[in-house]
Structure 1
Amino acid sequence: MPEDSRRNLSEGWCTEGEPWSLAQQRVDPAEWERIKRDFPISKAAEQTAALSLYMFTGLIPTNQDNQSGGADGRNGAVDALLTAATGERQIMEVVSSLDPQYRNSSAAVNKFERIIAASYQGATSWALSLERGWESQRLTELAPQITDALSGVEEEGEANSNEIKIHPFVTAQRIQIAGQPTVFVSSRNAGASSFGGSYLEALTDYLANDLTIERKLNKLEREGERLGATRRHLFIGMASTGKHGGLLPSSPSFFTWGEFTPPRVIDDLWLEGGTGELYHWALETGWIFHRTHV
């Protein structure tokens, strides 16, 4: 985000909604456990979405796409039916912003880490960060170069703990851990495209042009009509990696930055990225955020 350095991320926030610490006081423990069983941890994103909406809206989610065992899910079903105390029906689709290309490359990153850790003989532990553009590299061929570079840094006796650029696509930082010195690799920033303009404009563009989002919106429209749903929710697990990693919502100030044009189909949009905040856009009220850490 080119303008991040010129923004005060602690100011200009969107409205703060009810925090988790207050919302949880309304939770029925039996219903909470029922939801966890209905949305198994094998589909963690759906479980997170279902529990979050139950927590902050009171809507009761049921899994419509469970085709395991004796479940009655069906192909093309919406991810969750959300039922209000009045019997009103709403629906939800859940998706991750992690692009398939990056998901498929994660195995290569893990192998890269194993090769370096196995051959590294230094006295210092390191955290390596793959930077944007690493996908153009053959990581198995790059690994020996990185091992040599780390050894060279140690021989030069650089004692600071700041990040050190050891390759055009790799930075290294000393870390203190117990046990045998080793090397860890993070690709948090890898492949995350920067964008010009504002956060909300970039989010609008992503929602308007991503093919996975398009399929989810089509399902919401189709299933909304079939089920007589009064509202349609899209819940996105925002990844910090891949080409959409730059869209990770790391400050409530992002949601006052630019103009947001939502997809026509949805009434509610939820963004969750493991940052300690859950962001919610509603057709009538715009953006708010909920603190999700206890």
Structure 2
Amino acid sequence: MESRTPPMPELEGVRHTYADVRGVRLHIAEAGEGEPLLLLHGFPQHWYGWRRLIPLLAGEYRLICPDLRGFGWSQAPAGGYDTDSRVADVLALMDVLGVERAGLLGHDWGAWTGFHAALKAPERFTGFLSLNMLHPWPLHRRLMPQSWRFWYTALLEQPLLGRWVLRNRPGFTRYLMRRGVVQQAVWEPAAMAEFVRSSREPDRARAGEALHRAFALRDIARLLLGSFKKHRLRVPTVILAGEQDFMLPPGVLAGGERHADDLRVEVVDGCGHYVHEERPDLVAKAARELFGRAR
């Protein structure tokens, strides 16, 4: 754990706790009461990435917004940044909090974690709302021509280089965030500054590098080999895709319905890679519809 704890952003109605999960101290931001809804952030954000969505849903759900290991105010151990470890963290956190079953909402890397949590333990989730993330069964003929869009991950996944870029080139992180939205005004200066600040912390930068490298070394091979085709998604799932997502254009999301009981893709017009930042109202509406149907 870092010796100096940076100040926490303030958000009305949010309470903060910590839990020891699989040997790692995780920070959890919670708000509201009711049916539990677990929100998993993406990169380079942390719990504060849900600041626009929390006020819209806190009156209806118990929102549980953990900082994944290595990010925000959670501990940053040396390892455990692969997908399977993050899934184990999520399921163990639910056990620690006494949450037997919950709705699941994730963005970016949090959504990738969400897919695999739903595959591993479908009985734990009432539904899954995925934002701006590929499902585990992409059609290669659609995905491969778009692979150039992941150029920036080649920098982040390199040992030592990835953490150096995040620590010493804050403009790179700002570029990714600005490139990820259509309407630049959604990035309040204070929020942008917070995510860049957090990414520059030595342990957070190392975690960002490890996250991308673990995906490159493990998950890409499994995608190419079709290893996920032996698994079927039983949890009702909706994917919200940004029409102008610079990383994942909606066309690459075809094909997943063949491997799922109930999977729909909805394209959000005029949005990029941060649908929850640009259209939190639409994300909240999709959540109410999906999890209300599940109830």
Question: TM-score, normalising length from structure 1?
Answer: 0.28
Flag the structure with more relative contact order, 1 or 2, with Cα contacts below 8 A and sequence separation at least 6.
1
Question: TM-score, normalising length from structure 2?
Answer: 0.28
Q: Of the two, which has the highest radius of gyration?
A: 1
